[in-house]
Structure 1
Amino acid sequence: MAKNKMTVVYKVAALGCAVCVDLSVFYTHGSFVTHSVSAHFARLWVFAVLRCLALTAVLQLTVGHIKPLLFRVLTAHSLLPAVFETGSWALYHEENQCGRQADVRCWLLCTAASLAAALFWEVIVPDTDEAAAGREKKQKARVLFVRVLRLYRPDYPLMLGGFVFLSLAVLCEMSIPFYTGKVIDILSGQYKQMEFGSALFYMGLYSLGSSVSAGCRGGLLLCAISAFTCRIKVMLFGALTKQEIGFFETTKTGELTHRLSKDTKLMGQTVCLNVNVLLRTFIKTIGMIFLMLSLSWKLTLIILMETPITGLIQNIYDTHYQRLTLAMQDSMALANEAVSEVVSNVRVVRSFNAEKHEACRYDVRLMEAHALKTRRGTVRAVYLLVQRLIGLSIQVLMMYFGRQFIQSGQMTTGSLLSFILYQSDVGDSIRTLAYSIGDMLNSVGAAGKVFEYIDRKPLVTTHGTLKPDVLRGHVNFHNLSFAYPSNPDKNVLQNISLELKPGQMTALVGPSGEGKSTCVSLLQRLYDPQAGEILLDNEPLELYDHSFLHNKVTVVSQDPVLFSSSIRDNIAYGLAECTLDEIQEAARKANAHDFIKQLAKGYDTEVGEGGSQLSKSEKQRIAIARALVRRPQVLILDEITSSLDAESENEVHQTLTGCPNQTLLVIAHKLQTIEKADQIIVISGGKVEERGTHCELMHNKGSYYKLVEKLFAE
């Protein structure tokens, strides 16, 4: 601690010594009198170089190694008076107050300007690894922004129209302060009615033009945002539906819905709203600076000192604000996911009296988001405070020098008023410009999340093209091993091999959780195995066309899912061309036609959300019809008879077994269903323990015999 204090004291002493040396050389330069322009500029540049060398030598001897940032400050601080004096003489043939005389005001002004310039350089071209990493992150944001801009291509006509009206609105806005100053000069001098009326007319005309153009601009850009948001939502939703099932098992539902609802909207605003503000502010700023230079170039240079300081503060603010925004988006996604879980499983929550627990869990998620939002708000409040203080300081400097220019006859009162109005707008515009760039980069952060999902390649590909005219339905599981993506260390299936023959019914039996449903999922190609392969007619599943495979290999599950549409739409789900006759034929085979015709609207009856308007047995029969309407070659039945009465079960079995060439795979726990199978395969621990007919396995008295005694005994 003592050593650190000594270091600080030593550095302060070195800085004080450097200031004393610099002031000595600065005042020595002011004491020399020259009688010609060439001698005057020679003196300026000689002493500028001497100041730079003297400061460098003092700091090198006292501090040691001089960092690049400090060296830039020294160089700018030493050479700035000479550069300023030379430039003002070359452009305007004027000599500023720092020319013939040197005083502390000139020294302080040059010091502040050099610090601002060096800091601005540090922002644009950073030296540290941390700053370079920040630049790399911003470069990625710029790449994302360009990609969003390209997606706006269909809306370019709307955007072009919006930007035309934007330019008109800005040009009209900029002209108003100019004519305001003219009115003041007319009123303060000799009154001329024609000039006064003309100035008022143009002020009113430009005000009307600004209002109309701003309204047209806003309408066109909002239309472009709406169209873009719809397109990007469809793109994201399409990309999500193509992902493998394992993706949805490892990604929270709340996060996906948040990306679809919130982040896509932010993406739309990234270009249109932010670029709208950015361009409007940029055009307005350039125009006002040009008009301010025509009023007083010296005051304009003082005003522009705000720009590098604002840029530095904005850079610091953007870094923290963007990090907190991304964290808050993730936190809100978790909160939405908690709500989604409770709403979709409200029966379980109620039955276990977990209402308070879920409310507390949601409260914790919201408080985490609230804490991040509070921190983000605090950062923004500090940023705005510093911006206001800088703006007020610049205004004080402008008023001080403006008074001197009026007294010296370099400006009129009306010109100063116009300059003050422009300065107020320029200060706000510079701050808005810096903020818009940062806000645009923050909005692009949301685009990064959306593009991450759009660009994601599914692990289970659907690029197969095989569509044979004749499919026998011969299935082979060859040395198959598999673990779920959510738990990759646990193998559910271990080197399993089995065969499903056309025209035969194969039953998978075994304790729950031993791999039967996993075999079904792999046969549907919802997952790809880690080892081994599944062959359909001696061809790997991945070679088959995606639509063809899922029409020829269909499944009816124990808990069928129906969508909130009509019975007709649910049976024909996923089929672009399906006639009513085909739908009715499938319903008859599934023993569903009779109860459907008794409904008020028949096949046009709405089933409600998740089929809530139907009983479990009715939903099961509609699901069977949905599978049969595809005329599958491989049909998988996963405990479908558990919701059917005995009569319906017998009718469905007669229908399914009436297809002589169809491959039938059944998972069931009813003995009367299992014993009818041509082949029974016992799966336990992810392996095939036994296979054979009911009589053969009962005679062996192995695993199947024990299962019959435990699970199938009536």
Structure 2
Amino acid sequence: MKLKVYKPKTLVLRRSRSFEDDYCRIMAAITATTMRQVAAFTLSVSVELLLFYASGFSVFHSVFGHFTRLWLCAALRWLALIGVSLLTLGVPKALLIRFITAHSLLPAVFETGTNAFYREESECGQLGDVRCWLMFSGASLAAALFWEITIPDTDEEAAGKEQKQKARVLFMRVVRLFRPDYPLLLGGLVFLSLASICEMFIPFYTGRVIDILGSNYQENDFLSALLFMGLYSLGSSVSAGCRGGLLICAISSFTCRIKVLLFGALTKQEIGFFGTTKTGEITSRLSKDTTLMGETVCLNVNMLLRTFIKTMGMIYLMMNLSWKLTFLVLMETPITGLIQNIYDTHYQKLSLAIQDSMGQSTEAAHEVVSGIRVLRSFNTEKHEAHRYYNCLMETHNLKTKRATISAVYLLARRLTGLAMQVFVLYYGRLFIQRGQMTTGKLVSFILYQSNLGDNIRTLTYIFGEMLNSVGAAGKVFEYLDRKALVSTDGKLQPDQLRGHISFRSLNFTYPANPNKTVLQDFSLELKPGQMTALVGPSGEGKSTCVNLLERFYEPQDGEILLDGEPLKSYDHQFLHKMISVVNQEPVLFSGTIRENIEYGLKGCSLDEIKDAAKESNAHDFIKQLEKGYDTEVGEGGGQLSKSERQRIAIARALVRRPQVLILDEITSSLDTDSENKIQKSLSSIPNQTLLVIAHRLKTIENADQIVVVSGGKVKERGTHRELMDMKGSYYKLREELFTEGN
């Protein structure tokens, strides 16, 4: 009993000691790492201050020239700091290298720029002190952090960099698609430049007018300033209008062209693609994403170039007004860029989520509208309304989050701009008191400064927005680049086609449900001049045979031969002219009866259409209509009954004079008289291969071959009498399903 009591305690004690030992080792490692980092930081600061102060010693001034001293000290500081980092921390990270580089080179760059532009030396260039060192250190740290946030270079952000590179590639593809509209874009670029240049000079002449009114008034100078202000305003307005008109024309032309390309690419996809892709998603690509593609180049590039030209021009004019105030204003740029980058990251994520949510709402509404009869039959109006409401509320919540982020961003941006305006006014007053500026120049500078902040924020935003907005282009290109899984590259078009079809050892599963095998080792032969009937329970593979024969899908194993040649080797148009299918649920398109019968045929005469209509027993009811063959059938053939739609669909198949005709349970909506007339017409066509899937006994009992399909395999085959004598599966099906009453 003692062993049972104390043994668990001993185990616990051992685990506790092991845990304490591990904890002590971890804490010791953390402490050593921290001490090493503190030592590295202290040593780096000491070496840095020593070299920074040494650059101001008189011996350096006497031995080296001013620029030589600056850049030599920068190189020595960089080497020293990199060396200390290698000795104490090992291989430094990219962020630390960027900070050391910026911190070492910034004093030299600043002094070189000051001497080159203004022919004077700053206080930091004359004698290095702690104030200058802190200023350069702070600026370098801000620049390194800004670079790290806006252009990340860590392993964790590798996926983000790859995404940006993909966005650039997509953007260039969109630009190349604009090639037919290059003249319009070039004209828009010219007027854009003129509008930006004219707009830049308006604040300059505003300040000049104020100076003229405040000093010795000269009427000629005043009128001249007003004249130039008017001319620049007129030029800016006219150029902006011309720019907008040309770009709108380019967008419209591009959108129309890309929609046609996308529609053509979609119609070439295999049937399985439409089974796995939602209709709402396809319509969204056609309607919304194609429009966004045009705006990606025209509107975003237009805004980017216009803002860039204005920004560069404003900075140049502000430097002429006061270079000191200009440097003060530019200090706001890293802060603005940081705020903008954080905002863009969250805003774009929410925008993509909102786009997906809106697509779900559109899909829900589309399903309800297309299935309104089922909705009404099962009394699910409230359920569908609630489901649609949930989709809308999800979109609403995402939009609320996006609006909140926008509000916080706007507040931060306004506070930053307000703080910078206070600094500009304060130092501007000092410069006016010292005679370094005039009141008019300060007014012009403030006007430029208020626009410059907005322009810099726009530049930061629009570049990311331009790359992010090509997400819509990526979805469109995904469809444009997609190759149909069922190839249509066959070239075979024989002059004579017998219509001999062989199914050889087919194995097939639908792409939407790959775990369910529909056909297993399926083999069947259809001979010219014979009628073959497929029978069996629903879902056993009968309609799948039709889908494969129409090349809607490709079998995973086996092949289908037509006159000894694989189906894929035949020309696509030739194959579908020689093989016609009439489905149980006929599909008609809005238009006239004549247009629906000759659908897909060119040069089909009215006599041929009437002959086909007579064979399908449709001519009699058509001629009784007020407009005859020119009668509109309505959307989906809604103006006609199901029987009338069925007969028109049969006429549409017969007018092609196909060598292989497939009837997929078409007699379920026909009356006995129509069925007998159609059967008689079909039997009169010599050497035609006829495949029938039907439930009515009269439809199949005279067939040359009846095939019972069960479990994706051919279970029985033979004539009606042969199968009845066997008393097998066909006999049971006849007793259960193929009765006169059914």
| Structure 1 residue 458, shift from structure 2 partner | 0.4
What residue number does 2:707 align with? 681
What residue number does 2:13 align with? none
**Counterpart amino acid of residue 196 in structure 1:** F
What residue number does 1:114 align with? 140
Map 1:59-458 onto structure 2 (within 5 A).
66-100=92-126, 106-122=132-148, 126-458=152-484
- The one-character-per-residue Cα deviations of 1:463-510 (angstroms, maximum 9, x if unpaired) are 111111111111111111111111111111111111111111111111
**Counterpart amino acid of residue 507 in structure 1:** A
Tell me whether 16-25 or 166-175 shows the greater mean CA deviation: 16-25
- The one-character-per-residue Cα deviations of 1:428-474 (angstroms, maximum 9, x if unpaired) are 11111111111111210010001101110000111111111111111
Indicate whether 1:587 and 2:628 are aligned: no
State whether residues 34 and 40 of structure 1, in contact with CA within 8 Å, keep that contact through their aligned partners in structure 2. Answer: no
What residue number does 1:546 align with? 572
- The one-character-per-residue Cα deviations of 1:321-344 (angstroms, maximum 9, x if unpaired) are 333333332222222111111111
Measured in 2, the distance between the counterparts of 1:110 and 1:463 equals 67
Measured in 2, the distance between the counterparts of 1:304 and 1:18 equals 33
**Counterpart amino acid of residue 558 in structure 1:** Q
For residue 621 of structure 2, give the secondary structure of its aligned residue in structure 1: helix
Map 1:626-645 onto structure 2 (within 5 A).
626-645=652-671
| Structure 1 residue 674, shift from structure 2 partner | 1.1
Measured in 2, the distance between the counterparts of 1:508 and 1:340 equals 35
Measured in 2, the distance between the counterparts of 1:404 and 1:100 equals 24
**Counterpart amino acid of residue 443 in structure 2:** L
| Structure 1 residue 550, shift from structure 2 partner | 0.8
What residue number does 2:10 align with? none
State whether residues 21 and 55 of structure 1, in contact with CA within 8 Å, keep that contact through their aligned partners in structure 2. Answer: no
| Structure 1 residue 517, shift from structure 2 partner | 0.7
Tell me whether 57-66 or 615-624 shows the greater mean CA deviation: 57-66
| Structure 1 residue 610, shift from structure 2 partner | 1.2
Measured in 2, the distance between the counterparts of 1:711 and 1:161 equals 73
Q: Which TM-score applies when normalising by structure 1?
A: 0.93
| Structure 1 residue 23, shift from structure 2 partner | 10
| Structure 1 residue 187, shift from structure 2 partner | 1.6
**Counterpart amino acid of residue 215 in structure 1:** G
User: Taking structure 1 as reference, are residues 18 and 607 closer, same or farther at Cα in structure 2, changes over 3 Å only?
Assistant: farther
Q: Which TM-score applies when normalising by structure 2?
A: 0.89
- The one-character-per-residue Cα deviations of 1:297-329 (angstroms, maximum 9, x if unpaired) are 333233333334444444444443333333332
What residue number does 2:536 align with? 510
What residue number does 1:528 align with? 554
| Structure 1 residue 657, shift from structure 2 partner | 0.7
For residue 517 of structure 2, give the secondary structure of its aligned residue in structure 1: coil
What residue number does 1:606 align with? 632
What residue number does 2:643 align with? 617
Measured in 2, the distance between the counterparts of 1:403 and 1:22 equals 40
Measured in 2, the distance between the counterparts of 1:198 and 1:240 equals 62
| Structure 1 residue 78, shift from structure 2 partner | 4.6
| Structure 1 residue 404, shift from structure 2 partner | 3.8
**Counterpart amino acid of residue 492 in structure 1:** V
| Structure 1 residue 242, shift from structure 2 partner | 0.8
For residue 495 of structure 2, give the secondary structure of its aligned residue in structure 1: coil
| Structure 1 residue 70, shift from structure 2 partner | 2.9
Measured in 2, the distance between the counterparts of 1:35 and 1:520 equals 92
Measured in 1, the distance between the counterparts of 2:480 and 2:588 equals 27
For residue 383 of structure 2, give the secondary structure of its aligned residue in structure 1: helix
For residue 502 of structure 2, give the secondary structure of its aligned residue in structure 1: strand
Measured in 2, the distance between the counterparts of 1:318 and 1:373 equals 15
- The one-character-per-residue Cα deviations of 1:25-45 (angstroms, maximum 9, x if unpaired) are 699679967997877948767
Indicate whether 1:646 and 2:702 are aligned: no
State whether residues 314 and 438 of structure 1, in contact with CA within 8 Å, keep that contact through their aligned partners in structure 2. Answer: no
Measured in 1, the distance between the counterparts of 2:566 and 2:717 equals 24
For residue 120 of structure 2, give the secondary structure of its aligned residue in structure 1: coil
Indicate whether 1:672 and 2:698 are aligned: yes
**Counterpart amino acid of residue 205 in structure 2:** Y
**Counterpart amino acid of residue 244 in structure 1:** E
User: Taking structure 1 as reference, are residues 197 and 14 closer, same or farther at Cα in structure 2, changes over 3 Å only?
Assistant: farther
> Which residues of structure 1 form unaligned runs of 5+?
none
User: Taking structure 1 as reference, are residues 31 and 517 closer, same or farther at Cα in structure 2, changes over 3 Å only?
Assistant: closer
For residue 659 of structure 1, give the secondary structure of its aligned residue in structure 2: coil
What residue number does 2:9 align with? none
For residue 216 of structure 1, give the secondary structure of its aligned residue in structure 2: helix
Measured in 2, the distance between the counterparts of 1:475 and 1:339 equals 43
**Counterpart amino acid of residue 417 in structure 1:** V
State whether residues 119 and 309 of structure 1, in contact with CA within 8 Å, keep that contact through their aligned partners in structure 2. Answer: no
For residue 712 of structure 1, give the secondary structure of its aligned residue in structure 2: coil
Measured in 1, the distance between the counterparts of 2:70 and 2:482 equals 63
User: Taking structure 1 as reference, are residues 195 and 346 closer, same or farther at Cα in structure 2, changes over 3 Å only?
Assistant: same
State whether residues 507 and 517 of structure 2, in contact with CA within 8 Å, keep that contact through their aligned partners in structure 1. Answer: yes
**Counterpart amino acid of residue 452 in structure 1:** E
| Structure 1 residue 15, shift from structure 2 partner | 10
- The one-character-per-residue Cα deviations of 1:358-401 (angstroms, maximum 9, x if unpaired) are 12222222233333333333444444444334433443443344
Indicate whether 1:576 and 2:635 are aligned: no
**Counterpart amino acid of residue 663 in structure 2:** L
State whether residues 61 and 69 of structure 2, in contact with CA within 8 Å, keep that contact through their aligned partners in structure 1. Answer: no
| Structure 1 residue 18, shift from structure 2 partner | 8.0
| Structure 1 residue 183, shift from structure 2 partner | 1.1
What residue number does 2:16 align with? none
State whether residues 592 and 622 of structure 1, in contact with CA within 8 Å, keep that contact through their aligned partners in structure 2. Answer: yes
Q: Pick one of 507, 512, 521 that aligns with 1:481.
A: 507
For residue 637 of structure 1, give the secondary structure of its aligned residue in structure 2: strand
For residue 581 of structure 2, give the secondary structure of its aligned residue in structure 1: strand
How many pairs are equivalent? 714
For residue 469 of structure 2, give the secondary structure of its aligned residue in structure 1: helix
User: Taking structure 1 as reference, are residues 405 and 133 closer, same or farther at Cα in structure 2, changes over 3 Å only?
Assistant: farther
User: Taking structure 1 as reference, are residues 63 and 187 closer, same or farther at Cα in structure 2, changes over 3 Å only?
Assistant: farther
State whether residues 48 and 81 of structure 2, in contact with CA within 8 Å, keep that contact through their aligned partners in structure 1. Answer: no
- The one-character-per-residue Cα deviations of 1:585-628 (angstroms, maximum 9, x if unpaired) are 11111111111111111111111111111111111110110000
What residue number does 1:519 align with? 545
User: Taking structure 1 as reference, are residues 503 and 28 closer, same or farther at Cα in structure 2, changes over 3 Å only?
Assistant: closer
For residue 172 of structure 2, give the secondary structure of its aligned residue in structure 1: helix
| Structure 1 residue 138, shift from structure 2 partner | 0.9
| Structure 1 residue 106, shift from structure 2 partner | 4.1
Measured in 1, the distance between the counterparts of 2:607 and 2:76 equals 99
User: Taking structure 1 as reference, are residues 385 and 441 closer, same or farther at Cα in structure 2, changes over 3 Å only?
Assistant: farther
Measured in 1, the distance between the counterparts of 2:728 and 2:674 equals 33
